[in-house]
Amino acid sequence: MKFSAQQIAEVLKGKVDGDPEAEVSTLSKIEEGRPGSISFLANKAYTQYIYETEASIVVVNEDFIPEKAVKPTMIRVKNAYSAFTMLLEMYQQAKAVQPKVSDKASVATTAQIGKNVFIGDFVAIGENTVIGDNCRIYANTSIGNNCNIGSESTFFAGVKIYDESVIGNRCTFHAGVVVGSDGFGFAPQEDKSYKKIPQIGNVVVEDDVEIGANTTIDCATMGSTLIKKGVKLDNLIQIAHNVEIGENTVVAAQTGISGSTKIGKNCIIAGQVGIIGHLKIPDNTTITAQSGVTKSFKNPGMIIGGSPAFNHSDFQKSSVHFKRLNELVNRINELERKLKNQNITE
């Protein structure tokens, strides 16, 4: 399907600068633009490409002033990045699968399936589970017994949702996500062996949460592991039993959060962060990449880093000395040698 620059401008509430009849049928990056595609320019570092791109239409900020002739038709908007994000969402929705239940799926007779739901091949849905309207559940996904799944949520191929899990509305689970697997609970015995502690809790995921591929969220020992609304989790993250993650917190790849730790809202946790158990991280905290968090913090809005983690500005100052550690040790050794020789002489 093709759309003209004028039609797109009306959707984006922008203004056409160029040919309003220019047509596109696909999207592209500006540096890889080709005829018939629409791209965008939001980052000044990519400005050079607007003079080179073959894209037919480029979305730009309304205050963009070209330094020379621009071949594509431009659509001027208040925020090019946000506008192009809207186009990506529309494009994704246009490609969405049509509602149907595959005859190769296994749906329990006691399960309740909402309206306009897509259920792919080899999906398994357990007893007494409720699936809300407009959900999309792709091949080889398993949703256990007594689960409650809200509306408009998407489960990509191979997702595993264990029994008793509660999922909100408009959530996205990417391939390989596991929700509700047992927490890591083992009691040491006198003979040095370990006895498994039953994990009888569940996982609650609130509205508008997105969970990246191969991320795992353990069920609570008792009660619930809680992922609050608006949380965004990257790929390859481990969330342990009874963890709570506050609203609109984002966590980057390869981070591990140990049991019973409470993360506040609007936090930013960078990649490869390790957080030990039973800690409290306040609202609006930023934790820099590869940090090891070993204690709780009280003041909201801090930036912390290092291992063990502490105030990031102090960590940056300390890192200057870390780099010079060998030099400083050599200087101290030299001073001690001189003092020793001076004492011998005297």
Which whole number is the average pLDDT over 112-116? 97
pLDDT grade for 319, boundaries at 50, 70 and 90: confident
The pLDDT of residue 164 is 98
pLDDT at 320 over 80: no
For the sheet containing 216-218, what is the strand order? 106-107, 124-125, 142-143, 160-161, 178-181, 216-218, 238-239, 256-257, 274-275, 292-293
- What are 252-294's pLDDT values in tens digits? 999 999 999 999 999 999 999 999 999 999 999 999 999 999 9
Mean pLDDT for 94-122 is 94
pLDDT at 201: 97
302: three-class secondary structure by DSSP: coil
Catalytic residue of the set 241, 278, 312, 321 = 241
**Does the pLDDT at position 316 exceed 80?**
no
Mean pLDDT to the nearest integer, 99-122: 97
CATH class of 100-315: mainly beta
Is residue 27 pLDDT above 70, yes or no? yes
**Average pLDDT over the chain, rounded to whole?**
94
Q: What is the pLDDT of residue 337?
A: 86
Quote the pLDDT of residue 338.
83
Give the Cα separation of 203 and 205 in Å (integer).
Answer: 7
Residue 185: how many other CB atoms lie within 10 Å = 17
What pLDDT shows up at residue 240? 98
Give pTM, 2 decimals: 0.82
pLDDT per position as a tens digit, 171-221: 999 999 999 999 999 999 999 999 999 999 999 999 999 999 999 999 999
Per-residue pLDDT, 346: 60
Mean pLDDT within 100-113: 97
Out of 117-126, 299-308, 325-334, pick the least confident.
325-334
- CATH architecture entry for 3-94: 3-Layer(aba) Sandwich (3.40)
Residue 314, pLDDT above cutoff 90 = no
DSSP assignment string, 55-107: -SEEEEETT---SS---SEEEEES-HHHHHHHHHHHHHHHTPPPPEE-TT-EE
Domain residue spans of the chain: 3-94, 100-315, 321-345
Chain segment 59-77, per-residue pLDDT in tens: 999 999 999 999 999 999 9
What local confidence, expressed as pLDDT, does residue 32 receive? Answer: 96
Give the confidence band of 94 by pLDDT, cuts at 50, 70, 90.
confident
Residues 6+ apart with CB under 8 A from 120: 97, 102, 105, 137, 138, 139, 140, 141, 157
How high is the pLDDT of residue 344? Answer: 64
Q: What is the pLDDT of residue 345?
A: 61
Q: Please, which residues have CB within 8 angstroms of residue 89's CB and are 6 or more apart in sequence?
A: none
Catalytic residue list contains 241: yes
All residues at 6 or more sequence positions from 9 whose CB lies less than 8 Å from its CB, including other chains: 15, 16, 20, 75
> What pLDDT is attached to residue 329?
85
